[in-house]
Structure 1
Amino acid sequence: MGPNKTGKESGTDVLQWHEMKDMWQLMAPVVFPPGLLDTTESDVKGLIDLLDLNPTDRVLDLCCGYGRHTLEMSSRGYDVVGVDINDYFIEQARKAASEENLPAEFRIGDMRKFCEPDSFDVAINMYGSFGYFADYRDEILVLKNIYKSLKSPGKLLIDLWAKKIVLQLFPQRSEMESGRGLYVIESNVIENETKLRTSWKLLDRNGIWHEWVSVQNLYSAGELEDMLEECDFSGMKTYGSFKGTEYDANAERLIMTALKQ
């Protein structure tokens, strides 16, 4: 099953995120807008502080995308490995590492299958990169793989859109022009406020609509903590931003840290 590119009034295929490689490449200008780079340095500074990292820590950036956090951590001297299923993103990340003369390592891998026992001091999962699997067992499998891949003791940080934040912001519709055409993004909450459905559309310069639909699971802080406990993590702490602010009504994100003892 692949993306629908068949006409101006195209139907829609509902895909799992890992099947949407063409979509991520075509939609990169809206998924990863230029201004996003401006937050990378502060994100990394924040996660270093929240996790109290040591300079010698080996870090796994799971679902690294095109590697902006991986590269920033590498520039700060960390031994860091970025993993993503999208070969296009990994290609771009490797190119950037080479151009910047950074030793960051990038690998193509499915987060449900990636597991290197006792190999990392720290794992990070950034920018809402958790919650895309329809089967709850796959979500748990990812967390169990992270747990196994961490040394003991080890640390995890997950950065998500929180359910309560999403409920305040959506439904939402946005448009943006770029060299490729007109982007239209429409998102709404479905299934008793448990999932975020997003329609990603591109009207290209030939007048053809390209459309994909993604569905992401929404988790509250309590639900995420329960999942981590199910996978033997402990010592969970919750924050509302990378500045370490409280997770309250003004929270920007749901950021949770956890420990492998």
Structure 2
Amino acid sequence: MSKKDWFALWFNTSYYHTLYKHRDFTEAQEFMQHLLSFLNFKKEDLLLDLACGKGRHSIYLNSLGYNVIGADLSPNSIKHAKKFENETLHFLEHDMRIPFKRKYNGILNLFTSFGFFEDDNEDINVLKNIKNALEPNGIAVIDFMNCTNVISNLVPENVQEIDGITFNISRYIEGKFIVKQIEFKADGKEHVYFEKVKNLDLNRIQEYMNLAGLKVKHIFGDYKLNEFKKNSSDRLIIIAE
């Protein structure tokens, strides 16, 4: 299994959703409530949930009254999400490296859905695409992990058993990436998948944003929008325009 294209392979499997099925989305929904209150979007605004997965967060945003488009690289995830479409909620397959065809009042890139690519220019290109897809005074949100904190608290190995599948998980640093290696046996086969996210601190992401023409307006360190602290914050949440 190629590490280079891990996101296209891993996100499109049912095993990915099995491994993360027990995630508590209450905190994520509270985050969006805090975020939307802070940003003060209008109900008629159009929001893009970029890297939406199966659409759980797009559906939640739409339930709050917003017009939402969810976009994701995974055909299987989008096929699932399309079951929930309505007049103000739509889903489409889209690689974030490809320019968007319409403009949005807000683009939300949530829960560490950035920094996947080997070439830094591809990550910068993603930010350029986001900038170019924003309406005047539009807002972009990049919700990234705080890599400094993640690395200092990295758990090298653990095992999770879910739905009869034993996932053996190892974590390590490889070059400029934080890597999670996931091994398991299912359907009579041995599987190995990877998650690779670039080790990007605040300064590096700000450099990317400057190159993309995005202006950083606010920086937060958790889903309650508390101050960012380099060594202890769980998240690195950037609001830009």
Q: Work out whether the TM-score is over 0.5.
A: yes
Distance verdict in 2 for CA 1:160–1:22, change over 3 Å:
closer
In the other structure, the counterpart of 1:111 is: 96
Structure 2 Cα separation of the partners of residues 158 and 28 of structure 1: 22
How far does residue 23 in structure 1 lie from its aligned partner after superposition? 5.9
In the other structure, the counterpart of 1:204 is: 186
Q: Does the residue aligned with 2:112 lie in a helix, a strand or coil?
A: coil
In the other structure, the counterpart of 2:21 is: 33
In the other structure, the counterpart of 1:121 is: 105
In the other structure, the counterpart of 1:215 is: 196
State whether structure 2 residue 236 is matched by structure 1 residue 254: yes
How far does residue 201 in structure 1 lie from its aligned partner after superposition? 1.2
Pairing partner for 2:57 from 53, 63, 69: 69
Q: Which amino acid aligns with 1:61?
A: D
Q: Which amino acid aligns with 1:129?
A: S
In the other structure, the counterpart of 1:16 is: 5
In the other structure, the counterpart of 2:167 is: 183
Q: Does the residue aligned with 1:34 lie in a helix, a strand or coil?
A: coil
Q: Which amino acid aligns with 1:211?
A: V
In the other structure, the counterpart of 1:58 is: 46
Structure 1 Cα separation of the partners of residues 27 and 51 of structure 2: 18
In the other structure, the counterpart of 2:31 is: 43
Structure 2 Cα separation of the partners of residues 103 and 58 of structure 1: 9
In the other structure, the counterpart of 2:208 is: 227
Structure 2 Cα separation of the partners of residues 102 and 202 of structure 1: 41
- Is the 2:109–2:142 contact (alpha carbons within 8 Å) kept by the matching residues of 1? yes
Structure 2 Cα separation of the partners of residues 139 and 210 of structure 1: 28
How far does residue 250 in structure 1 lie from its aligned partner after superposition? 3.0
Structure 2 Cα separation of the partners of residues 219 and 140 of structure 1: 12
- Is the 1:239–1:255 contact (alpha carbons within 8 Å) kept by the matching residues of 2? yes
Q: Which amino acid aligns with 2:136?
A: S
- Is the 2:8–2:74 contact (alpha carbons within 8 Å) kept by the matching residues of 1? no
Q: Which ranges of 4 or more aligned residues in structure 1 deviate by more than 6 Å?
A: none
- Is the 2:218–2:240 contact (alpha carbons within 8 Å) kept by the matching residues of 1? yes
How far does residue 22 in structure 1 lie from its aligned partner after superposition? 6.7
Pairing partner for 1:241 from 174, 198, 222: 222
Pairing partner for 1:145 from 105, 120, 129: 129
Q: Which amino acid aligns with 2:234?
A: E
Q: Which amino acid aligns with 1:219?
A: L
Identity value in percent = 22
Structure 1 Cα separation of the partners of residues 115 and 95 of structure 2: 14
- Is the 2:98–2:129 contact (alpha carbons within 8 Å) kept by the matching residues of 1? yes
How far does residue 171 in structure 1 lie from its aligned partner after superposition? 4.0
In the other structure, the counterpart of 1:9 is: none
Which stretch shifts more, 62-71 or 210-219? 210-219
How far does residue 51 in structure 1 lie from its aligned partner after superposition? 2.2
- Is the 1:180–1:205 contact (alpha carbons within 8 Å) kept by the matching residues of 2? no
Unaligned 5+ runs, structure 1: 4-12
Structure 2 Cα separation of the partners of residues 21 and 187 of structure 1: 16
In the other structure, the counterpart of 1:165 is: 149
In the other structure, the counterpart of 1:8 is: none
Structure 2 Cα separation of the partners of residues 94 and 39 of structure 1: 24
Q: Does the residue aligned with 2:138 lie in a helix, a strand or coil?
A: strand
Unaligned 5+ runs, structure 2: none
Structure 2 Cα separation of the partners of residues 154 and 256 of structure 1: 14
Which stretch shifts more, 119-128 or 217-226? 217-226
Superposed CA offset, 1:132-181 (max 9, x none): 00011111111101111101111010111122121122143221112252
- Is the 1:44–1:72 contact (alpha carbons within 8 Å) kept by the matching residues of 2? no
